[in-house]
Amino acid sequence: MGADFAITNADKAGLSGPRAGILCGATDPVLATLAKASELGQEARAPIAAGAMRSLQAFDPEDLRTEARDGSSIADALSEAWGAEAVHRSDLGPMLDEQDVMARVLKQSNCIGTKTVPAEVTAAIGMILLRDHGVLTVNTHGAPGGRVSLRLKPTAGALAAVGGTGALISALDDAVSEVARRLEDDAWFNATLFGEPA
């Protein structure tokens, strides 16, 4: 391919983490990059490097295929429940745009408008899914500054652990209904998103 080195990270689909960069390639450019990273204090510490190595050693393409199949089955079920136009598909699972989620919440709440913004709505739905069903969504545990859409990208075995696609869609619908009921409750949103005051 003509590249001297490639960069990815250890928590991509099919890998188990940690969230750390992986640099591999030709010896000279990799060593030069390592030297500069060390100079800047950005090199991987031994436990992180060991975790990344174990993640790569444990990689099984079948896990990635399972994640893709599970993501596709979630997208199919969600398209049936929410309408195909609301579901944006990726290779690893569906994404619901925050504006579409907001519209659904507003419709259920019978409100025309609200001071609550879409990012708060999708974050609250994500927190309910985590609290009540153990479902991690990208918007509750993703990178700061990431999209506020609701993304469902299962890891291998996660869909079965939550009870299958029907249980997941039901959990999502219940979370949407709870947010719709509490749409104007600032204290509830604060507690849901930030925890109870100490």
Q: Are 118 and 101 in contact (CB under 8 A)?
A: yes
Are 7 and 23 spatial neighbours (Cβ–Cβ below 8 Å)? yes
Q: Hey, where are the domains in the chain? A: 5-58, 61-194
Query: What fold is seen in the domain 61-194?
Result: Aspartate Aminotransferase, domain 1 (3.90.1150)
Q: What pLDDT, on a 0 to 100 scale, did the predictor assign at position 140?
A: 78
> Euclidean distance between the first and final Cα of the chain, in Å?
55
* The predicted structure's pLDDT at residue 3: 84
SS3 66: helix
8 A C-beta contact, residue 107 and residue 123? no
pLDDT value of position 184: 94
Between CA 94 and CA 157 the distance in angstroms is 17
Furthest-apart CA atoms within the chain: distance in Å: 63
Instruction: Pick out the chain residues at pLDDT < 50.
Output: none
Could you tell me if 121 and 172 are in contact, meaning their C-beta atoms sit under 8 angstroms apart? no
* Nearest of 128, 118, 117 to residue 177 by alpha carbon: 128
What pLDDT does 142 receive? Answer: 64
pLDDT digits (tens, 9 = 90+) for 160-198: 999 999 999 999 999 999 999 999 999 999 999 998 876
Tell me the whole-structure pTM to 2 decimals. Answer: 0.83
